[in-house]
Amino acid sequence: MRDNQNGGDGRDKIRINDLAIPCIVGTEDFEREIRQKIIVNLEIITDSRRAGKTDDLNDTIDYSKLSEDIYSLVTEEEAYLIEVLAQEIADLTLGFDGAREVTVSVQKPAALPLARSAEVEITRDA
């Protein structure tokens, strides 16, 4: 249902693009020995109308803090699959007040010798 009085349906988007994080990820022995870079992208569905009026960080998702939390999560985790990282990032993001839905993509540039990267993308809602 569209909220015409307030100017929209509250399905605004916050994106974090190309967050590069070194981590241990992979199923091969050599991948468990050395950190490799993954690339994380997020699209968060939220309602930013209040923040758009108040100009107050408390009225929106603090994407600086979210980025720091994702970085800490991924660098501490030693996952075998990027699917695990994507799910944990989605869970973390949905824990932020105002996050209604999130699409997370995790790219692993060193995964395939003949491709730029391998990627998993998931969408989860609160």
**SS3 of the chain: helix, strand, coil, percent, to 5:** 30, 35, 35
Question: What DSSP character marks residue 8?
Answer: B
- Angle among Cα 82, 99, 49 to the nearest 5 degrees reads 140
pTM: 0.91
Q: What are the structural domains of the chain?
A: 12-125 (3.30.1130.10)
Share of the chain above pLDDT 70, in %: 94
Instruction: State the pLDDT confidence band at 4, using cuts at 50, 70 and 90.
Output: very low
Dig out the tokens for 117 from the structure.
């990267």
Amino acid at 121: E
Q: Are strands 78-79 and 36-46 parallel, antiparallel or unpaired?
A: unpaired
For 19-66, write each residue's pLDDT tens digit: 999 999 999 999 999 999 999 999 999 999 999 999 999 999 999 999
d(CA 57, CA 54): 9
d(CA 43, CA 104): 7
CA separation (Å) from 121 to 6, 7, 42, 89, 111? 32, 30, 9, 11, 15
